[in-house]
Every structure is written in C-alpha cells, then in structure tokens.
Amino acid sequence: MSRIAIIPGDGIGPEMCAVATRVLAELEGAALVTETFPWGSAHYLRTGRMMPADALETLAGFDAILFGAVGSREVPDHVTLWGLRLAIVQGFDLAVSLRPARLLPGIRGPLADRGPDDVNLVVVRENTEGEYSGIGGFTRRGLPGEVAVQTTVYSRDAIARTARFAFELARSRPARRLASVTKSNASLHASVLWDEVVADVAVGYPDVQWESVLVDAAAARLVLAPQEFDVIVASNLHGDILSDLTGALAGSLGMAPSANLSLDGSRPSMYEPVHGSAFDLVDRGLANPIGMVLSAAMMLEDLGRPESAGRVRDAVAAACAAGIVTRDVGGSATTEEVFEAIVRGV
C-alpha cells in the first residue's frame, strides 16, 4: 500500500487532481491511500500562509505527492510559488525536475509536417538552485534609486547530480543522445562551471553522444529540428523555459507532465502537470487533464507499479488517437469526456 498526498492548489488544479485521483482509484483501488490537503491561495487568504508551518513534516510521512497548480489573481505570484510549490521542492531537496514531451498520435502539433516520431524528448532540469535560489534583496526600496539584486547560485554538487541523472536517462533510451544547455558565452562564471562539471561527468558515459548548446540556439533548433533532441539537461531557469517550449511542441502545455524527484528517496517526490492555474478555464469543464494524468503515471512508475503506469499511458494515447481531446489540442471533448475515454482504456 502507498500513501499519496494530494495538494489540488489553485485554479484548475482541483479539477485536474480529481480526474487523476479517479483514474488511480480505477487502477489501484485500495492499494493507494490518498489524503487531500486544501493548501494554496484560498488558505493564504484565510491564514496568511500558503500552507501550515508544519506542512513539510506532515508530507514527509507520504510516499508521493500529487500537485495540481498554484497561482491566483488575488495573491502575487511570488507569494504563491515560494509559499507552496518551491517551499516543498527546496524543503525536500527535490533535485531534478523531469519533464517529458511526446507528440501523441492524433494530436495536432504547432509545427507543420511534424509527427510523433519528431517530438519525443525529455528535459532534465536542475530544480533547487540556479536563478531560483531565492538569494538577493532590495535596497533603497520605493525610492527613485531602488535596486534589486537576484543572485544565481550554481554548485558543483547540484550540477553533477543533475548531469549524472541525465546521462543515466540518456543511456537508457534508444537514441543515447544528450544536449547540455547553457549560456556560457555570456554567463562567465555560473554557466562556465556548468559546462565544466557536465564535461567531467560525461567522461563516465562514453556510450552517450552529447553536445553543449547555447540556450538561444537550443530554442531555435527545437522549433526547426525537434527530432535532433533526445535528453536535454539544463539549469533551473533554462530548463523551466525550454520545457514550456517542448510542452507546446507536444501540442499544448495541457499535455505536459512532470516529476520533481527525491534522488535518494529520503523524501516523497512530487508529481504535477506543467500547466498553470488557467483562470479562464476554472469550473467550465474544458481543461485538459492529460498532463495531470500522465504525471500520475510517472508517479505509478516510481512507486514500483510499471504495469499500471503503462496502462495509463496506453489509454491516454488511445484517447488521443480517437480524437477524444480538449479544445487546446484541436478537439471538442470536455474534461469529463477525456476522463471517461481514459478509464475505458485502462
């Protein structure tokens, strides 16, 4: 039996988590025990905190976390993100954000003449440091000479563990290719250290073909020739931006799953769709649940249930091939209709 903490969060998060939870119940029944925590912007407006002070202690007793979305019109974005999602990621040292992107049969991608064989890659994002280290501050606040300083932090250890994970992943995939994305022509210190550490790690993986690519060139190549990429490893900011692009190449951010991984298993990993709160879709029954459902499949895989994970992925692919998809990917189905098609397939 596995214990799953559900944090629906904001916007369409509760609707998406409800779909994923129902799919999990259909597959695993009593083998998965879930508990829902009503943390997020509504909790903040009531209490002044996005989650309770002892939230990490509570979550530490679970095997995994399923997370919906964060962000609200009523609460500033930096409060919602740092108060909930990043508080969990950094508090639990969830070292790697894993973001696969695959164009499924039946999904119309934005690139002409590109099909499923052309978009099948994964972004490995360093998840705890870089541009999102949270180090910095303001001076002369509110005055004409106000200054804000945001410090980027790269450490050899964090880069190395991210690179090793990415090379191991590339080694396990048929193409055995890896692109390390950086900006070392402009970032004289942090990106240069990234390049040096990745090159050191690469020595242990002679069977993986790898290259170092500047982030702007990588963005252009992803649009012009996505089939050239297999595994991309990148810093926190670069990986965040590029994984939105790769999600779009797979048809929509609504299709994009992700996992925030505890590499040593000492804390629960957290699984979430890449999309945000999508205020315009709340309570309309039109949001795309596939990214959330595929995130749940990643969770099942990591919990030692590969057969169930495969059934979910096959059911999602079958629903897409049959055209039972939401409007963001060219269909007309509702959230509930997509859920029903997936459940029929599992």
DSSP 8-class letter at 253: G
Q: Is residue 16 packed enough to be buried (19+ CB in 10 Å), middle (13-18) or exposed (0-12)?
A: buried
Pairing of strands 269-273, 64-69: parallel
Report the pLDDT value the prediction gives residue 326, as an integer from 0 to 100. Answer: 98
E strands in 29-119: 32-36, 64-69, 96-102
- How far apart are the C-alpha atoms of 259 and 99, rounded to whole Å? 7
Judge whether 96 and 162 are in contact, CB under 8 Å: yes
292-333 confidence digits (pLDDT tens): 999 999 999 999 999 999 999 999 999 999 999 999 999 999
Judge whether 205 and 167 are in contact, CB under 8 Å: yes
- How far apart are the C-alpha atoms of 319 and 315, rounded to whole Å? 6
* pLDDT over 90 percentage in the chain: 98
**Domain ranges across the chain:** 1-100+256-346, 110-249
DSSP 8-class letter at 129: S
Report the pLDDT value the prediction gives residue 334, as an integer from 0 to 100. Answer: 98
146-184 confidence digits (pLDDT tens): 999 999 999 999 999 999 999 999 999 999 999 999 999
Active site residue 240: yes
State the amino acid at position 317 in one-letter form.
A
- How far apart are the C-alpha atoms of 291 and 14, rounded to whole Å? 14
Average pLDDT, the chain: 97
CA nearest neighbour of 229 among 156, 290, 179, 282: 179
Domain 1-100+256-346 identical in fold to domain 110-249: yes
- How far apart are the C-alpha atoms of 290 and 258, rounded to whole Å? 12
239-294 confidence digits (pLDDT tens): 999 999 999 999 999 999 999 999 999 999 999 999 999 999 999 999 999 999 99
Judge whether 198 and 233 are in contact, CB under 8 Å: yes
Terminal C-alpha separation, the chain:
20
| pTM, 2 dp | 0.96
Active site residue 44: no
Average pLDDT value for residue range 108-121: 94
Joined tokens for residue 38: 């009503």
Q: Would you say residue 30 has pLDDT above 90?
A: no
Q: What SS3 state is found at 121?
A: strand
Report the pLDDT value the prediction gives residue 84, as an integer from 0 to 100. Answer: 97
Catalytic choice (63, 230, 244, 302) = 244
Active site residue 195: no
Joined tokens for residue 166: 């990415």
Phi, then psi, of 260 in degrees rounded to 5: -105, 110
Active site residue 118: no
Catalytic choice (77, 200, 216, 283) = 216
199-237 confidence digits (pLDDT tens): 999 999 999 999 999 999 999 999 999 999 999 999 999
CA nearest neighbour of 285 among 331, 238, 338, 244: 338
Q: Which CATH superfamily is domain 110-249 in?
A: Isopropylmalate Dehydrogenase (3.40.718.10)
Judge whether 23 and 296 are in contact, CB under 8 Å: yes
Catalytic choice (240, 271, 302, 328) = 240
Catalytic choice (44, 63, 183, 328) = 183
- How far apart are the C-alpha atoms of 101 and 246, rounded to whole Å? 6
Q: Would you say residue 42 has pLDDT above 90?
A: yes
Active site residue 117: no
Catalytic choice (10, 44, 63, 132) = 132
Report the pLDDT value the prediction gives residue 29, as an integer from 0 to 100. Answer: 87
Q: What SS3 state is found at 305?
A: coil
Q: Would you say residue 110 has pLDDT above 90?
A: yes
Q: Which numeric CATH code is attached to 1-100+256-346? A: 3.40.718.10
